[in-house]
């Protein structure tokens, strides 16, 4: 479970002046035959932000990224990069670089040649090329591997080289499509930290990161802001804490974290599992229920509670005093759940932006 | 699993080659025409010092080079269109068109070319129709060059197609993404990745031209290595040892050629 720190920054809902915007999508729509891959998406990403597109498989994240890169043309809408309309420009005319999910390193070139490719086709002089390649290989911490061929690298190393090949061009915007998807869990967590470090290190040139993932934990831990995609539409845009704690729709509540949606008096609301206090006495305020299931997760235990007045809530408790034995034995017990009214958020059905 | 069949193949191949090589050191008795099993270098001596045999060898190698280059030039755009431009239906149609000639008799196809290139053949007839001067390529090196290039073309198209088809779209997108315009992407990514396919195809076109004796017999009027060997094996002279000795020339040429092709990655592309 990711529990991001509460963001004290104000919600980024108000529009950013166009000059500081790196990416602006305006009513973008893209269809493939009958499939609507991206449906009227509006997006504004200010310069230097780490912005994540989060959503389930097939929700249109990759398509959105490919539209920004220029590999696809939208059926409707406009794309602006740094204030300029690039809707009809080819990829090589956009100041944007992509890190591909399969890395797409050129197999016939060495690592150094791969990294130098962008500079080379832009006719950067040899000496400067060499200097910048060496520099960026240091940033991704692989300064020794310049002479190898891509096949001689491990998955994690390829990932870093793909990153270096894009970053060396210091694009305005860096697009990353599930760049850590092919790595194992441990390496993925390492690379998450690495990516943030690298973004900080190149931040003097101010590269905006647009990151695609379907892993909510990754999205919550890495992003400045994120957009939750569902069926080609954006359901919510906000800082991780905002999206996590005040999901705007039932879909977001379910996809980002545990759903925990209750319907009372015709209204739907959600409350996050760690905000619920579980008491084993039945006297007092709150909802009564019975523990249906207990999942011991080490640091904490997850309880699934069936409520008497209908519905089900997941409750998370840190294992401060309870042992695993005690936790597991509480299955079937009657409990009372309490939470503070300010920790509940009313949600609407369907799409809300 | 692969062991026994491979060993079998090797024995057959190597045995045949060994017999060939050994017999190259025998000779024919000039008077009786009988095979003499005594070791001699006479055959190699003749080949090394006869300008006729030099000429024939160079002519053959030169033709093989010309045919290979021609096929590479024709095959590349064709295979490129097939692999990366044509919609699936078109691709199937083109595939059939490429393979179709291979299903018909090779002799019949060469004969057809003879009819086309003849002085009063289909080509001159067509040229006259559009008011162009008539050609007289029949039984010349030009005729052989055209016919060789035609009959071996599928052997170049297929490996080049395979190499081009295998290039992932993401490589091309990556190149464009990094600032490579279409021509740059073509030159720096597509061509280098198609090179192993071209090298593989060239092994076929080169070696098939080197060893063929039917095309020169039917549409040419000069000797190729294959004709000399053929005549010495089955012809009047019946000098098997000499044929064997001369056959080592294309073998050596091919050995050199394969070494070069291997450098270009031809064997990974097959
Ligand atoms: N080239 C294409 N041709 C046809 N349909 C496509 C194409 N590309 C994407 N789609 C469809 O568009 C929709 C969105 O796809 P997209 O690849 O953007 O999803 P995604 O959010 O990246 O999913 P994933 O997490 O699985 O990568 C899907 O229904 C997909 O099948
Ligand atoms: Mg995707």
Domain ranges in chain A are: 18-245, 258-346
Is residue A236 within a helix (H) or strand (E), and if so which, with residue range?
strand A233-238
How far is the C-alpha of A148 from the C-alpha of A160, rounded, in Å?
Answer: 14
Please check whether residue A90 touches B, CB under 8 A.
yes
Please check whether residue A73 touches B, CB under 8 A.
no
pLDDT in the model for residue B1: 52
Query: CA-CA-CA-CA torsion for B103, B105, B111, B115, nearest 10 degrees?
Result: -40
A192 neighbors A180 (Cβ within 8 angstroms): yes
CATH 3.40.50.300 for domain A18-245: yes
Which pLDDT tens digit goes with each residue over B23-74? 888 887 777 777 778 788 888 888 888 888 889 999 999 999 999 999 999 9
pLDDT tier, B90 (very low <50, low <70, confident <90, very high otherwise) = very high
Which pLDDT tens digit goes with each residue over A60-113? 999 999 999 999 999 999 999 988 999 999 999 999 999 998 899 999 999 999
Q: What is the mean pLDDT of residues A12-41?
A: 81
How far is the C-alpha of A201 from the C-alpha of B219, rounded, in Å?
Answer: 71
DSSP assigned state of A341? G
pLDDT in the model for residue A203: 66
Closest CA to B229 of B218, B214, B244, B219: B244
Beta-carbon count within 10 A of B162 CB: 18
Q: CB–CB of B179 and A108 under 8 A?
A: no
How far is the C-alpha of B161 from the C-alpha of B76, rounded, in Å?
Answer: 8
Q: Which residues of A touch B170 (CB under 8 A)?
A: 100, 102, 104
pLDDT tier, B231 (very low <50, low <70, confident <90, very high otherwise) = confident
Q: What is the mean pLDDT of chain B?
A: 88
What is the b/e burial string over B10-49, where b = at least 16 CB atoms within 10 angstroms of the residue's CB?
Answer: eeeeeeeeeebeebbbbbbeeeeeeeeeeeeeebeeebee
Closest-approaching ligand to the CA atom of A57: 1
- In chain A, whose CA is at the least distance from the CA of B169? A104
Closest CA to A327 of A307, A306, A298: A298
Q: Is the pLDDT of residue A353 over 70?
A: no
Q: CB–CB of B168 and A104 under 8 A?
A: yes
Q: Spell out the residues 6+ positions from residue A22 whose beta carbon is closer than 8 angstroms to its own.
A: A45, A46, A47, A48, A49, A81, A82, A172, A173, A208
pLDDT tier, A345 (very low <50, low <70, confident <90, very high otherwise) = confident
Q: Whose CA is nearest to atom 20 of ligand 1?
A: A58
How far is the C-alpha of A210 from the C-alpha of B80, rounded, in Å?
Answer: 34
A256 Cα: distance to centroid of ligand 1 (angstroms): 21
Q: Which of A121, A132, A164, A174 to mutate to test the interface with B (most CBs of B within 10 A)?
A: A121
Residue appearing with tokens 């920004």 = A68
pLDDT in the model for residue A327: 81
Collect contacts of B93-96 with beta carbons under 8 A, ≥24 apart: none
Q: Whose CA is nearest to atom 18 of ligand 1?
A: A60
Domains A18-245 and A258-346 share a fold: no
CB-ligand 1 contact for A214 (6 Å cutoff): yes
A247 Cα: distance to centroid of ligand 1 (angstroms): 25
How many angstroms separate the CA of residue B174 from the nearest CA in chain A? 7
Q: Is the pLDDT of residue A153 over 80?
A: yes
B209 neighbors B227 (Cβ within 8 angstroms): no
CB-ligand 1 contact for A213 (6 Å cutoff): no
Measure Cα distances from B105 to A302, B6, B111, B112, B147 in Å: 76, 30, 10, 11, 14
Q: Which of A91, A151, A161 to mutate to test the interface with B (most CBs of B within 10 A)?
A: A91
Q: Is the pLDDT of residue A161 over 90?
A: yes
* In chain B, domain spans: 51-269
- What dotted CATH number matches A258-346? 2.40.50.140
- What dotted CATH number matches B51-269? 1.10.3720.10
Q: Return the minimum-mean-pLDDT range out of A117-121, B90-94, B212-216.
A: B212-216
Q: What is the mean pLDDT of chain A?
A: 87
More confident residue, B126 or A3: B126
CB-ligand 1 contact for A58 (6 Å cutoff): yes
Please check whether residue A168 touches B, CB under 8 A.
no
- Of all residues in chain B, the percent with pLDDT exceeding 70 is 97
The reported pTM is 0.81
Q: What is the mean pLDDT of residues A24-53?
A: 94
Q: Is the pLDDT of residue A349 over 80?
A: no
A56 Cα: distance to centroid of ligand 2 (angstroms): 9
The pair of structure tokens assigned to B199 is 């090298």
Is residue B267 within a helix (H) or strand (E), and if so which, with residue range?
helix B266-269
Q: Whose CA is nearest to atom 26 of ligand 1?
A: A57
Please check whether residue B166 touches A, CB under 8 A.
no
């Amino acid at each position: 479970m990711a529990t991001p720190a509460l963001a004290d920054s104000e919600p980024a809902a108000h529009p950013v002046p166009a000059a500081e915007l790196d990416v602006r999508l305006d009513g973008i729509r893209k269809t493939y035959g009958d499939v609507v891959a991206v449906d009227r998406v509006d997006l504004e990403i200010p310069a230097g932000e780490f912005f994540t597109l989060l959503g389930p498989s097939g929700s249109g994240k990759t398509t959105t990224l490919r539209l920004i890169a220029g590999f696809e043309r939208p059926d409707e809408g406009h794309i602006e990069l740094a204030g300029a309309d690039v809707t009809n420009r080819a990829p090589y005319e956009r100041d944007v670089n992509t890190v591909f999910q399969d890395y797409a390193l050129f197999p016939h070139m060495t690592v150094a040649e791969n990294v130098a490719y962008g500079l080379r086709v832009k006719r950067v002089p040899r000496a400067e090329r060499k200097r910048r390649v060496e520099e960026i290989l240091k940033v991704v911490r692989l300064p020794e591997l310049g002479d190898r061929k891509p096949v001689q690298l491990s998955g994690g190393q390829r990932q870093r080289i793909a990153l270096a090949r894009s970053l060396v061009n210091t694009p305005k915007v860096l697009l990353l499509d599930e760049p850590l998807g092919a790595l194992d869990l441990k390496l993925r967590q390492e690379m998450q930290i690495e990516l943030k470090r690298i973004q900080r290190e190149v931040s003097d040139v101010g590269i905006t990161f647009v990151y695609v993932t379907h892993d909510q934990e990754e999205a919550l831990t890495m992003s400045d802001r994120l957009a939750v995609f569902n069926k080609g539409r954006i359901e919510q845009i906000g800082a991780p804490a905002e999206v996590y704690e005040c999901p705007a729709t039932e879909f977001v509540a379910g996809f980002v974290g545990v759903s925990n949606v209750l319907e009372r008096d015709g209204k739907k609301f959600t409350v996050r599992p760690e905000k619920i206090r579980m008491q084993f006495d039945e006297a007092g305020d709150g909802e009564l229920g019975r523990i249906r299931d207990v999942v011991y997760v080490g640091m904490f235990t997850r309880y699934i509670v069936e409520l008497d007045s209908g519905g089900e809530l997941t409750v998370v408790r840190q294992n401060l005093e309870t042992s695993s034995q005690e936790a597991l034995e509480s299955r079937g017990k009657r409990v009372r759940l309490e939470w503070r009214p300010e920790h509940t958020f009313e949600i609407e059905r369907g799409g809300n932006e | 699993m692969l062991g026994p069949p491979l060993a079998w193949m090797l024995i057959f191949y190597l045995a045949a080659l060994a017999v060939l090589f050994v017999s190259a050191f025998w000779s024919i008795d000039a008077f009786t025409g009988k095979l003499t099993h005594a070791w001699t270098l006479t055959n190699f001596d003749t080949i090394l010092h006869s300008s006729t045999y030099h000429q024939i060898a160079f002519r053959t190698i030169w033709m093989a080079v010309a045919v290979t280059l021609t096929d590479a030039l024709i095959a590349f755009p064709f295979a490129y269109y097939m692999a990366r431009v044509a919609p699936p239906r078109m691709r199937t149609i083109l595939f059939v068109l490429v393979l179709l000639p291979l299903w018909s008799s090779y002799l019949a196809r060469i004969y057809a070319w003879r009819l086309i290139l003849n002085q009063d053949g289909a080509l001159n007839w067509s040229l006259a129709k559009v008011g162009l001067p008539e050609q007289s390529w029949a039984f010349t090196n030009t005729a052989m060059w055209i016919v060789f290039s035609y009959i071996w073309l599928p052997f170049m198209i297929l490996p080049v197609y395979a190499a081009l088809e295998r290039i992932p779209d993401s490589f091309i997108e990556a190149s464009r993404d990094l600032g490579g315009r279409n021509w740059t992407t073509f030159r720096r990514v597509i061509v280098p990745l198609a090179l192993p396919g071209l090298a593989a195809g060239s092994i076929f076109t080169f070696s098939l031209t080197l060893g063929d004796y039917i095309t020169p017999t039917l549409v040419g009027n000069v000797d190729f290595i294959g004709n000399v060997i053929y005549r010495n094996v089955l012809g009047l002279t019946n000098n098997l040892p000499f044929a064997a000795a001369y056959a080592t020339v294309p073998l050596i040429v091919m050995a050199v050629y394969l070494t070069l092709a291997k450098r270009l990655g031809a064997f990974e592309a097959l």
